[in-house]
Amino acid sequence: MTRDFPAALQTRIDTKTKPPGSLGRIEDLAAQIATLQARLDPRMERCQLTIFAADHGLADEGVSAFPAEVTRQMVLNFASGGAAANVFARAGGVALQVVNAGVRGGPFATEGVLDLPLGEGTASSLRGPALSPDESTRGLEEGARLGRAGDWDAMAFGEMGIGNTSAATLIAHRLLGLPVADLVGRGTGVDDKGLARKQEILERASARVPGTLSPEQVLQEFGGFEIAMVTGAMIAAAKARRLVLVDGFIATAAALLAVRMAPETRAALVFAHHSAEAGHGAVLAALGAQPLLHLGLRLGEGTGALLAWPLVKSAAAMLNEMASFAEAGVTDKS
């Protein structure tokens, strides 16, 4: 990128047939895309969503309204094309792949699921580290390999795993130093009694490991197999100058890990939406993020990222296809 690229880019945006700044956040998004690709005519046509699925030992402690077997059932639903993520991906022309990062019950060995399990679910972080150092390293590496694969302009990373809002809460809690009570949410829909139990379990899990932890240690102690892979994929996709559409609370917790491990990742991240999960706003604020959408979503799977994809495509199209004042023969402001 040349030294005069930022000025040339701003001129290109400001001389389109509109008052300067009148397209608001779309102009900012266009500038981010162009800067990431280091070209005034960025390409933004091809997007892939990868959904990483894994089970969590912490789910056995009673932190979720749904049993752990739902993770496996939902992977099969993704594979057959019946989930919300499948519907939104088809509507937006987004490619979708599903990865078994560590779901209980063994390999799926079925069309539509890529089996890359790190194990059959993590250990319970209430009892000990959720991931071993080897599992954490392999998760980051497998995610990075997928983040580099293909020829995508943008990539989104969804997740599925009963108990993973608890893992995300603990990650945010330990990286940001905020109380669990400020971050814990209802996840799959626990009632008030269930929410109180969830908070108490997460506080006990955190107390098991006192002191300051590195991002890598936080991932090992409290993370999930799918969170490790999403983290690695985000870092690698950003290094490949691919735009990364960040979904909801769990994906944003992975983005926080990614940025803490590799700060240059932040430039590639577009935060798709502000979810209804309690801790999401705090993590977004810590990342200096302004999400594109606020729709009350709390499903995960990459659904919010898929809904934001048309805005991303439109921002790049504005740079490439919208006429300038000179091209259109329209009088610029005096």
Radius of gyration of the chain (CA): 20
* Biggest CA-to-CA distance, the chain: 70
Burial of 305 (0-12, 13-18, 19+ CB in 10 A): buried
Query: How big, in percent rounded to 5, are the helix, strand and coil portions of the chain?
Result: 50, 10, 40
Collapsing DSSP states into helix, strand and coil, what is residue 210? coil
Q: Is 279 in contact with 169 (CB distance < 8 Å)? A: yes
From 27, 159, 277, 301, the catalytic residue: 301
User: Which pair of structure tokens corresponds to residue 65?
Assistant: 């309204």
Instruction: Give residues with Cβ within 8 angstroms of 30, minimum separation 6.
Output: 13, 315, 316, 318, 319
Helix axes 164-176, 249-261, angle to 10 degrees: 40
Collapsing DSSP states into helix, strand and coil, what is residue 20? coil
Active site residue 111: no
From residue 195, how far is each of 56, 95, 138, 251 by CA, in Å?
A: 18, 36, 33, 21
Query: Which residues are the active-site residues?
Result: 301
